[in-house]
Amino acid sequence: MLWFVLGGVLAMGLLAFLAAPKLHRFAYWIGRRSDAEVAALATNGWRQDRLEVEPGIHLTGLVRPAAASDARWILFVPGNSSGMLPGFRSELDQLRGNDDVGLAFWAYRGFEASDGVPGPAALAADLLQQWAAVRALGVPADRLEIWGYSLGTPLATQLAATLCARGEPPRRLVLAAASARIPVMRHGLFGRFLPDDVYDAGPAIAAVTCPVVLVHGTNDDALPIGEARALATAFGPRVQFHEVPGRGHVDLWQDLRRLAFAP
């Protein structure tokens, strides 16, 4: 009888373990890469960067400095991807074309060769360090734009709000495939049993005073167009909103240069 009860408990536990992910909308799609593999991405003007965001925690990123001292820069806040550095490096190269624009982005904690574990508070704090790192290159705030894609959009919005509130607004905030609120299953073996990490820009929207550009595909099945429309409504007259007919979550990149790249 005891073995029967224990077997039932184990069976129920296994079912709960298997079913739990279905209760979560998204998970962290973490891909790891060695420092040498990241260094191999530092071609065509890009260089590898290691940024210490707190003692013992370093983020690995890619920076492509502009040639001209008065060129504008983009601090990019990436989406959730197992190929974060190579994938978005490729997209950013296509976005800039032949224009002289500085580019910088870092892999989130736990992704690629970055240390640590991802979470909303930590990633938001890390972005302030990234902003400071780009500013330390001699880039003034009025030439530095913040671009966010997918999971990066609530984080980018929070960063812009913090900077606007302290009198250091970015040149623009550009959001692609955006949502104000994205829940993600916590990282780790037992994350499926815990409350989600919630990336929520809602409370920050009112503090964003810089110009905002929002681009979203009408066929986005990851973050439906209704979420972008609600975000645009929350921003009000500050936002230039582009709905792209027929575009989804990934192929939206084809339209970003045309709709959002020109300042």
Number of Cβ within a 10 Å radius of residue 63 = 20
pLDDT value, residue 263: 72
Residue type at 230? A
Beta-strand pair 239-244/212-217: parallel
pLDDT at 14: 46
What domains, with CATH codes, occur in the chain? Answer: 25-261 (3.40.50.1820)
Beta strands 144-149 and 173-176 are: parallel
pLDDT along the chain (263 residues), means of 10: 51 47 75 96 98 97 97 98 97 96 98 97 98 98 98 98 98 97 85 88 97 98 96 96 96 94 82
Would you state the pLDDT for residue 194? 87
84: three-class secondary structure by DSSP: helix
Give the side-chain half-sphere CA count within 13 A for 245. 0
Residue showing tokens 């979203």:
216
Q: Which residues 6+ apart lie within 8 Å of 28 measured at CB?
A: 80, 110, 111, 118, 184, 185, 187
CA gap 77, 57 in Å, rounded: 18
Gap between the Cα atoms of 257 and 253, Å rounded:
8
Three-point CA angle 247, 251, 256, nearest 5°: 90
DSSP reduced 3-state for 10: helix
Tokens of 251: 């192929």
The neighbouring-strand residues paired with 144 are: 73
pLDDT computed for residue 188 by the predictor: 72
| Residue the block writes with tokens 């960067």 | 49
Q: Which residues are 54's β-sheet partners?
A: 57
> Hey, what are 47's tokens?
């260089």
Determine phi and psi for 217, rounding to 5 degrees: -85, 140
Q: How far apart are CA 240 and CA 211, in angstroms?
A: 8
